[in-house]
Amino acid sequence: MSPELVFQTHLNEIFVVRVAGNVLGQECLGSLCYAVSRFATLKLVVVLAHTNCGAVTEAVDIYLQPSRYMDMATAFSLRCIEDQILVAVRVAALTVESVYGLRATKWPGFRAALLELAVVLNAAWSAYCLRQELRHHFPDLEVVFGDYDLLSGHVRLPLSMPGEITEEEQGLFIPPESAEGFRQLACRICNGELIRSLFVHSCPRPAQGKLPKYQWNRLFDR
């Protein structure tokens, strides 16, 4: 996945820090702080995840089969990445359980649902943490998150089925500000058609509110 192609920018028009699983470490934060303080034109930090992320898939599989964790126990660097992602996976699992019931953990689509949900929650969490870190020195800087869908080529929230992706769910989003905000985001995605399609059941449709979308297109107007 090339961020320049995703956002249709020229080479060197965006400052890219690539990190497996979108996790935030000191070196990553340092690189971003450097870029923000060095380039006056830098107005937006984007945490861009992607569907079917290998690092998140590994965290999901560790969650589902805890014995796999032992394979990583001696690999400190890999464990640092997976430990961070496991937060999103755990919240994804709790959300699926609260929306569909404990029985959902036995359904065949559970692993796929965890992956879809954990990818976007993990990106939102990293954006939230980055925002907290950068807010003090760079109060005007926006930090947003997005999830690049490898199938459709859209940056979007995993709400609708491929081919039915709405304008509202496309683009970049402002991360929640609180634990309750994360709970609402997780529930909203969990109740979306995409996750529902992974499960065979019937649940009442919940009321849907507006999501805090970031109007990023204006940044790249020429």
Interacting residue ranges for Zn ion, rule: CB under 5 A: 53
Residue sitting closest to Zn ion (CB): 53
Minimum gap (Å) between residue 57 Cβ and Zn ion: 8
Q: Kindly report the backbone phi and psi dihedral angles of residue 81, in degrees, each rounded to the nearest multiple of 5, phi listed first.
A: -70, -50
Rounded CA gap, 135 and 213, in Å? 19
Considering beta carbons, is residue 56 or 99 the nearer one to Zn ion?
56
What spatial distance separates the first Cα and last Cα of the chain, rounded to whole Å?
Answer: 23
- Using CB atoms within 10 A of its CB, is residue 15 exposed (0-12), middle (13-18) or buried (19+)? middle
Considering beta carbons, is residue 4 or 193 the nearer one to Zn ion?
4
Minimum gap (Å) between residue 51 Cβ and Zn ion: 9
Minimum gap (Å) between residue 122 Cβ and Zn ion: 10
Considering beta carbons, is residue 48 or 186 the nearer one to Zn ion?
48
What is each CA distance from 21 to 36, 71, 98, 220, in whole angstroms? Answer: 22, 18, 25, 26
What is each CA distance from 220 to 40, 157, 179, 216, in whole angstroms? Answer: 15, 21, 32, 8
Minimum gap (Å) between residue 56 Cβ and Zn ion: 7
Minimum gap (Å) between residue 126 Cβ and Zn ion: 12
Q: Kindly report the backbone phi and psi dihedral angles of residue 214, in degrees, each rounded to the nearest multiple of 5, phi listed first.
A: -100, 130
DSSP string, 161-198: PTT---TTTBSEEPPPSSHHHHHHHHHHHHTSHHHHHT
Considering beta carbons, is residue 104 or 117 the nearer one to Zn ion?
117
Considering beta carbons, is residue 156 or 196 the nearer one to Zn ion?
156
Minimum gap (Å) between residue 148 Cβ and Zn ion: 10
Considering beta carbons, is residue 53 or 113 the nearer one to Zn ion?
53
